Amino acid sequence: MLSSLIDFSDYSFIKCNTVKSDPLSSRSMASKTPVGFIGLGNMGSPMAKNLLRNGYPVIATDVFPESCKELQDLGAQVVDSPAEVADKADRIITMLPSSPNVIEVYTGPNGILKKVKKGTLLIDSSTIDPAVSKEMAVAAEKMGAVFMDAPVSGGVGAASLAKLTFMVGGVEEEYHAAQELLTCMGANVVYCGQVGTGQAAKICNNMLLAIGMIGTAETMNLGIRLGLDPKLLAQILNMSSGRCWSSDTYNPVPGVMEGVPSANNYQGGFGTTLMAKDLGLAQNTATNTKTPIPLGSLAHQIYRVMSARGYANKDFSSVFQFLREEEGQ
C-alpha cells in the first residue's frame, strides 16, 4: 500500500495470462459514456476526479452527501442512491470501506442490482473478503451484469496522482473493458485471474506490509536504545540485506524522512483501523484454507490492540510509537 511515495517513471500494464478479447468490443467503443462512481471517501473522491479529468461524465453518490459537493462542483452529476446510479450508467465503480458496505450497496433496498441494466460492467475497488466478491459476482450475473474485483494499492497520494496499482479479478474477456477505465486512475493494472483473485493479491500484499512495518519499527527501536542515531541506522539498513519498503520509503521513526506520516505525528496515510481490518481478512482466509500465518496473526493482534489504545486513526506506521510507549509499562 501507499506506493504514492514511489516515483513511477512510466505507465505499465501487467497481465498474468493472455487476454483473448476483441479490442473493438462494444464497451471499448462506448469510450466516454457516463461512468457511475459510488463511495467518495479519501480514495474514491480523487479516483472519480481523475475520471472527470480524462473526459468521462461521472454520475456519483455517497452515503454522506457532503462528500459529493466537491465532485459536483467539478461537473459530476450527483444522485441519491446506488440504484439511481445503476439506472443512469452501464459502467460503475465502487470504492467502499468493508464487506458489509459492499453487500448493502449492491444488494440492499436501494442497491445497484435493483436497477442494474443487462450488460453493465461493475468494478469494485474496495478491499473485502474474496468470498464476498464471489457472492456479488453471482448476484450480478443473475441480473445479466458483469462484476469484477479490482482493489488498489497506493494510498491517497497515488489516487490523487493517478498512480494506483489495480489488482483485477473477473471474467477474462472483460479485462480490457475494465482496463480502459482503470488506466485513468492508476499506473499499473494487473489481471490476476477469476473473481476474488484481485482481493487475494491485495490481502497478501497488506499482510506482508504489516509484518514488514512491525519488523522495521522493532529494529529501529532496538538500534536507538543501543545508542545508534536513527538516520544513520536507516542509512545502514537501506544499503544492507534488511532493506525494505518500510525502511527506505516509509520509515516509521519521526525525523528520519520527510513527507511521510511519521514526520507529521502519524497523520494521513493508511489508518491503523484499516490495517487491522485487512489483517482480519487475511486471518479469515488463512483459517478457511488451513494456511499457517503465525506472523500475520501476530500482526493482526498488534494492530487490533493499537486500535483500542488510541491509535485507530493514526497511520499504521505509528506501531513505532506504540512500541516506544509499551516500554514504559
Q: What is the pLDDT of residue 12?
A: 37
The set of cell numbers assigned to 305 is 490492540
- Closest by Cα among 140, 159, 124, 134 to 46: 159
| Entry pTM | 0.84
Reduce the DSSP state of residue 14 to 3 states and report it: strand
Among 20, 118, 134, 202, the one annotated catalytic = 202
Q: Which of 324, 303, 319, 306 lies closest to 221 in space, CA to CA?
A: 324
DSSP string, 164-187: EEEEEES-GGGHHHHHHHHTTTEE
Radius of gyration of the chain from Cα atoms? 20
* Distance separating alpha carbons of residues 60 and 120, to the nearest angstrom: 16
CATH class of 201-322: mainly alpha
Report whether 130 contacts 196 (CB < 8 A): yes
Are 295 and 212 in contact, with CB atoms under 8 Å apart? no
CB 5 within 8 A of CB 250: yes
pLDDT the model gives residue 31? 57
pLDDT at 4: 40
For residue range 81-102, list pLDDT tens digits in order.
999 999 999 999 999 999 999 9
Supply the CATH classification number for the domain 17-193. Answer: 3.40.50.720
Q: Are 182 and 163 in contact (CB under 8 A)?
A: no
Q: How many CB atoms lie within 10 A of CB 229?
A: 11
Nearest alpha-carbon partner for 60 in 68, 49, 50: 68
Contacts of 24 (CB under 8 A, 6+ apart): none
Cell numbers 457511475 correspond to 36
The structural domains of the chain, with segments of one domain joined by +, span 17-193, 201-322
- The low-confidence residues of the chain, meaning pLDDT below 70, are 1-31, 328-329
What confidence score (pLDDT) does residue 181 get?
Answer: 97
The model's pLDDT over 166-194, given as tens digits with 9 standing for 90+, comes to 999 999 999 999 999 999 999 999 999 99
DSSP-derived letter for residue 116 is P
202 is annotated as an active-site residue: yes
What's the confidence (pLDDT) of residue 328?
A: 61
Query: How far is Cα 248 from Cα 52, in angstroms, rounded to an integer?
Result: 34
**Which cell is 54 given?**
480524462
